Structure 1
Amino acid sequence: MDVRSSSLSRRAALTGLGGVALLAAAACSPSKEATSTQPAGQTNPPATVDPNASIAEQRKIIDGLDKQIIELLKQRGEASATVQKIRTSAGGQKTDPAREQQIISAYSSGLGAGGADVAKAILNVDRGVQPSTSATSTTAPTSTTETSSSH
């Protein structure tokens, strides 16, 4: 379906493809701003935007993206567990520090300064390691035994 010629809005059509597609399309789209017919120096007053409606709309988008991220992380964990089983059954170690460093570097490159923290958190989840408990945490710590660190 050609999103540009469809009677559906681009946003509605692309939302079905996920937020990444929406962002990519927006970044590649030419601006739809109309040329002003007003004399130079004269501007329209800003449109009144209901910030609560905008926040609610963005939160719905975020919630949808979070669901997709969670599903992808589950799939990643399954693939990681499979690699770990293959490696250990062949006499290898449970972890591959060089591979983990590649993953951390990739996340750092893609996400910037916080990317390494994201990668480390994902690697810990795949190993079954719980994050260090904080003063606000109410969950009991679980075993930190490495269960799958294949990545």
Structure 2
Amino acid sequence: MTAPRDGGSGPVPLDDIRDWLSSRPGERTVVLATGCFDLLHAGHLTFLEEASRLGDLLVVGVNSDQSVRDLKGPSRPIVGERERAVLVGALRCVDRVFLYDEPTADRQIRFLRPQVFATARASITAYPSEVASAVEVAAHVHAIDRIAPYSTTTLVDTLRANL
């Protein structure tokens, strides 16, 4: 079991996160991970735990409700943005959480300038602009494999089929 980090919480403005990061003493490796995190499940936890092991501080971007609708369709998200951000922020491995409205986190990657950008392996081809933004700020891109059988879309489809 990993030691608790300094304690995340609900969503924080990006400016506050950047100020917080710059106030951290010494050389710290900042890892940035992003996602919808709708219906938080063990696959999400495994992804975030692996991401946290890549550095000292894990910052997580959570897609806003509108960006989830744009990405997943009008019936998503199931859980609202604030609740999703609070749940992600409550995980021991997460240090800070922010919400973002765009379908990709290009602007946030360039703004926060992490040393590592952790992403799902499938996202490398699905969202190449995020990879390009990470490379632009000299971040190492670390692809994390999906943990079968965990998938929010599959879970939602199964629930809807059994209603």
Q: TM-score category by the smaller chain?
A: under 0.3
Q: Highest relative contact order (Cα 8 Å, sep 6+), 1 or 2? A: 2
> What TM-score, normalized by structure 2, do the two folds share?
0.22
> What TM-score, normalized by structure 1, do the two folds share?
0.23
